[in-house]
Amino acid sequence: MTIILQAARLLGPRQIGRRASVTTDTMKILLWELSDGAVLELHREVVPGKRPRFTLVRERGDGFEELLVYYERGRARPGLQPQPLRSSVDVPPLVASAASGGFAGVGPAASL
């Protein structure tokens, strides 16, 4: 079974509320916050010269913001902010708000 099919089965009847991605040198980590608060995490290998491929999907019980902070501090390339996934609608970049302690620029996403 492909990673995308596994993600679809894990998603089930739940809807995706927020999406974000963090890019490392060889990996793009996609985070999808679900309607029940769980987070699906997908890893996509993006090695230069090779065809990109998904390598992992798992459901996380950790909060969406906590995972963003974890990947931003420990895995992302220096100086980069996690960015929301792009769709046909231009979405502003994900920016940490020091005053609110949260993230701006992330809102509900259309269901699949």
Torsions phi, psi of 9, nearest 5?
A: -70, -40
pLDDT of 104 higher than 50: no
pLDDT of 26 higher than 80: yes
Reported pTM: 0.64
19 burial level (CB within 10 Å; 0-12, 13-18, 19+): buried
Q: Would you state the structure tokens that stand for residue 76, as one six-digit string?
A: 């992302």
Q: What is the pLDDT of residue 74?
A: 73
pLDDT tens-digit series, residues 62-92 = 999 999 888 878 765 544 444 554 433 333 3
Rounded percentage of the chain residues whose pLDDT exceeds 90: 44
Show me where the domains of the chain are located. 3-85
- Bridge partner list, 39: 33, 60
Q: Whats the size of the chain, residue-wise? A: 112
Q: What is the pLDDT of residue 103?
A: 41
